[in-house]
């Protein structure tokens, strides 16, 4: 008989169990999602009408910065690491992660990183106010003193991500059950394997760029200071060499989640499994060759501009393959529309819309009009919210019965879906229009020309926020008093994780299963 977890606080502090750590990652991410959401709602409240009503411009800039940082590094990335912790060992028939103590460390440094980051809000001069992309020299020579704490926090987050990535790669490559060849792995495992390589490749680049900032601020170097012979554009090249793969770090695991859910509820195997793997790998490789499309207006030479435009457009091909595969998976299936399926279908549709605006943005000459307007804000929120957030939500509904052994309330789940779906579109669709009409991003006040769309966005954002409170309630209610779940949970589910009891015992696959 396997021994169970320790009791009390020490269980969570000292745990090396992938399920415990996965849960902690997920709860931490949920908390950060609400924190980042509050920042977003402050932004939307200020933008509800033209004029300055609620916050000062400097605080507004702190909000846009903190919203971006907390959502990217605090909500989305830890959520996917949490899902990987829970699901990767169970999907490949491993007893735990390969490096359990490092797993504990990579989680437990995160709360400190974000406590440090959040504490800057209370410092003299305020929190970082230079945008989540922290372009130098606004983030160096002209930054508030808290930038140093921001740099340290980013270092810790990066260390956590790198350790998490190493752990996932070591687990997937070494701990698969006999017979689980690479091309038999569930797509979620594949997408995470590729994501982990991306993380290892680019997080050190991020660490490098913030260290160069640190040197510029405190040690008299001039990496990004033109007056000292440095180059502000260099910052952007380094940042986006990290930043663009980072975008895919936040979306590739989402592809994996959706590729697990759609076949389950279509009761039909995933269409084009191997082309999905190759498309994911192609997207990952291309992600290293397109970074300067974030910089079409910095004045690159013609040939640079053109090459980055073509490479960016090329990404549409593997991404298209994925969308076509999902649609074809649904085609001639036998579909039911439980909450995870609803979120996954919304993912496919809305992510594709985000892909369309991405294709438009890839066209360099047109980007001269789109760049740094609300059109861009609309674009990346369409890929991140229905992309990353909806897929994480779908994953929670899909696997929650396996985690806690209890079902969520289907009616409430569907209510959550429709509120979130309407709220999201009400918030972000009008941003396409205000952006095309000429509204720049990151401004606390605007001409009344943009007033109607902004009011609509603000109303939508509060609806979306309320929907997430309902989500929290649904999850807690399921854990406390949900109906008992079966081992298979879903009629159409396939894969090793559904062969263990619900809830999954503290230790699973202590003897490896046999995969044919």
Residue closest to 328 by CA, chosen among 275, 273, 278, 271: 271
Cβ closest to other proteins, residue 440 vs residue 512: 440
Given 15, 23, 65, 96, the catalytic residue: 96
Give me the catalytic one of 184, 441, 442, 477.
441
Instruction: Report d(CA 191, CA 174) in Å as an integer.
Output: 17
61 and 468 Cβ atoms separated by less than 8 Å: no
> How many CB atoms neighbour CB 425 within 10 A?
18
| Site map (CB under 8 A) of other proteins, residues 428-467, x = contact | -----xx-xxx-xxxxxxxxxxxxxx--------------
Is the distance from CB of 298 to CB of 362 less than 8 angstroms? no
Least distance from C-beta 318 to other proteins, angstroms?
Answer: 9
Which residues partner with 373 through β-bridges? 440
Nearer to other proteins, 356 or 473 (CB): 356
Tell me whether residue 26 or residue 209 sits nearer to other proteins (CB atom): 209
- The smaller minimum CB distance to other proteins, of residues 28 and 130, is found at 130
CA distances, 333 to each of 18, 264, 437 (Å) = 34, 10, 42
Residue reference for tokens 């687990």: 171
**Considering 15, 140, 161, 352, which one is annotated as catalytic?**
161
Give catalytic status of residue 322 as yes or no.
yes
418 binds other proteins (CB under 8 A): no
The answer to whether the beta carbons of residues 191 and 253 sit under 8 Å apart is yes
Q: Which of 99, 258, 266, 424 binds other proteins (CB under 8 A)?
A: 266
**Alpha-carbon span 314 to 247, nearest angstrom:** 16
User: Contacts with other proteins in 387-406 (CB under 8 A)?
Assistant: none
**368-387: which residues touch other proteins (CB under 8 A)?**
368-369, 371-373
CB of 4 to other proteins, least distance (A): 39
Q: Does 154 bind other proteins (CB under 8 A)?
A: no
Q: Is the CB of 184 or the CB of 441 nearer to other proteins?
A: 441
Q: Which residues lie closer than 8 Å to 452 by C-beta, 6 or more apart? A: none
Report yes or no: 415 and 349 within 8 Å, Cβ to Cβ: no
Is residue 31 a contact residue for other proteins (CB under 8 A)? no
Instruction: Count residues near other proteins (CB under 8 A).
Output: 100
Shortest Cβ 264–other proteins spacing (Å):
11
Closer residue to other proteins, CB minimum distance, 116 or 298: 298
Pick between residue 164 and residue 256 the one whose CB is nearest to other proteins. 256
Within 336-365, the residues that bind other proteins by CB under 8 A are 336-337, 345, 348-349, 352-353, 356, 359-360, 363-365
Q: How far is the CB of 310 from other proteins (least distance, A)?
A: 6
Q: Which of 248, 374, 398, 490 is catalytic?
A: 248
Binding mask of the shown chain, residues 115 to 144, with x at each position contacting other proteins by CB under 8 A = --------xxxx--xxx---x-xx--xx-x
Answer yes or no whether residue 52 interacts with other proteins by CB under 8 A. yes
Contact 58, 131 (CB under 8 A): no
**Is 257 within 8 Å of 264 (Cβ atoms)?**
no
* 432 is known as an active-site residue: no
Nearest Cα neighbor of 377 from 60, 64, 53 is 64
Backbone dihedral angles phi then psi of residue 439, each to the nearest 5 degrees = -85, 120
Three-point CA angle 74, 75, 79, nearest 5°: 110
Task: Decide if residue 272 touches other proteins (CB under 8 A).
Answer: yes
Helix (H) or strand (E) holding 207: helix 187-218
For the segment 224-253, give every residue that binds other proteins (CB under 8 A). Answer: 226-227, 230-233
Window of 36-44, 108-116, 314-322, 501-509 that interacts with other proteins by CB under 8 A: 314-322
Cα diameter, the chain: 69
Annotated catalytic residue, options 67, 176, 406, 432: 67
Catalytic-residue membership of 274:
no
Active-site residue, selected from the candidate residues 322, 371, 402, 406 = 322
Number of Cβ within 10 Å of residue 462's Cβ equals 16
Of 162, 192, 311, nearest to 259 by C-alpha is 192
Return d(Cα 486, Cα 247) in angstroms, integer.
36
Q: Is 441 among the catalytic positions?
A: yes
Catalytic residue among 139, 171, 259, 393: 259
* C-beta closer to other proteins: residue 206 or 262: 262
Q: Check binding of 53 to other proteins (CB under 8 A).
A: yes
Q: Is 20 a catalytic residue?
A: no
Q: Is 268 in the site for other proteins (CB under 8 A)?
A: yes
For tokens 């609806």, what's the residue?
Answer: 463
Query: Distance (Å, rounded) from C-alpha 514 to C-alpha 434?
Result: 56
Cβ closest to other proteins, residue 358 vs residue 482: 358
Q: What count of Cα atoms within 13 Å lies in the side-chain half-sphere of residue 29?
A: 23
Q: Does 267 bind other proteins (CB under 8 A)?
A: yes
Say whether residue 299 binds other proteins (CB under 8 A).
Answer: yes
Q: Look at the block and give the residue holding tokens 């439980």.
A: 338
Q: Which H or E element spans position 168? A: helix 147-174
- Considering beta carbons, is residue 226 or 466 the nearer one to other proteins? 226
Q: Residue 256 has which token pair?
A: 């994996």
Q: Is 373 helix (H, G, I), strand (E, B) or coil?
A: strand
Is 160 one of the catalytic residues?
yes
Residue 218 in the binding site for other proteins (CB under 8 A) = no
Give the contacts of 287 (CB within 8 A, at least 6 positions apart). 198, 244, 245, 247, 248, 315
Residues from 89 through 118 that contact other proteins (CB under 8 A) = none
Report the nearest approach of other proteins to the CB of residue 383 (Å): 14
Residues annotated as catalytic (active site), given as ranges: 67, 96, 132, 160-161, 244, 246, 248, 259, 293-294, 319, 322, 441
């Amino acid at each position: 008989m396997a021994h169970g977890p320790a009791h009390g606080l020490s269980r969570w502090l000292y745990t090396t169990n992938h399920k415990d750590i996965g849960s902690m990652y997920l709860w931490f991410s949920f908390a950060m999602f609400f924190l980042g959401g509050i920042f977003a709602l402050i932004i939307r409240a200020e933008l509800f009408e033209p004029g300055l009503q609620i916050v000062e411009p400097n605080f507004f800039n702190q909000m846009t910065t903190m919203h971006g940082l907390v959502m990217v590094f605090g909500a989305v990335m830890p959520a996917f690491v949490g899902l990987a912790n829970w699901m990767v060992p169970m999907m490949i028939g491993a007893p735990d992660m390969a490096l359990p103590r490092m797993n504990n460390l990579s989680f437990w440094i995160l709360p400190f990183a974000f406590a440090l980051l959040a504490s800057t809000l209370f410092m003299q001069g305020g929190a970082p106010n230079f945008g989540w992309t922290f372009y130098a020299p606004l983030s160096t020579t002209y930054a508030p003193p808290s930038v140093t704490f921001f740099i340290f926090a980013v270092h810790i987050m990066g260390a956590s991500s790198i350790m998490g990535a190493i752990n996932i790669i070591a687990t997937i490559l070494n701990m698969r059950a006999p017979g689980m060849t690479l091309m038999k792995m569930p797509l979620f495992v594949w997408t995470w394997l590729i994501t982990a390589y991306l993380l290892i490749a680019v997080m050190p680049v991020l660490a490098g760029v913030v260290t160069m900032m640190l040197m510029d601020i405190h040690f008299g170097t001039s990496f990004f200071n033109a007056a000292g012979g440095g180059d502000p554009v260099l910052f952007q090249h380094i940042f986006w060499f990290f930043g663009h793969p980072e975008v895919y770090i936040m979306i590739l695991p989402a592809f994996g989640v959706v590729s697990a859910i759609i076949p389950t509820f279509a009761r039909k195997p995933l269409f084009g499994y191997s082309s999905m793997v190759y498309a994911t790998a192609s997207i990952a490789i291309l992600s290293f060759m397109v970074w300067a499309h974030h910089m079409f207006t910095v004045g690159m030479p013609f040939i640079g501009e053109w090459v980055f435009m073509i490479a960016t457009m090329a990404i549409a091909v593997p991404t298209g393959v994925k969308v076509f595969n999902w649609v074809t998976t649904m085609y001639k299936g036998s579909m039911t529309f439980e909450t995870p399926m609803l979120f996954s279908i919304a993912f496919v549709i809305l992510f594709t819309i985000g892909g369309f605006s991405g294709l438009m943005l890839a066209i360099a000459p047109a980007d001269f009009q789109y760049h740094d307007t609300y059109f861009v804000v609309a674009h990346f929120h369409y890929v991140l919210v229905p992309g990353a957030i909806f897929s994480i939500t779908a994953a929670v509904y899909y696997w929650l019965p396996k985690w806690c052994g209890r079902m969520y309330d289907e009616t409430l789940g569907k209510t959550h879906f429709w509120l979130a779906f309407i709220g999201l579109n009400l918030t972000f669709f009008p941003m396409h229009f205000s952006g095309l009409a000429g509204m720049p991003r990151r401004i606390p006040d605007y001409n009344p020309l943009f007033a109607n769309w902004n009011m609509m966005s603000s109303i939508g954002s509060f609806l979306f926020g309320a929907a997430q409170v309902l989500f929290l309630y649904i999850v807690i209610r399921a854990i406390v008093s949900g109906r008992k779940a079966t081992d298979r949970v879903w009629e159409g589910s396939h894969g090793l994780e559904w062969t263990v009891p619900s809830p999954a015992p503290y230790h699973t696959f202590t003897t490896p299963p046999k995969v044919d």
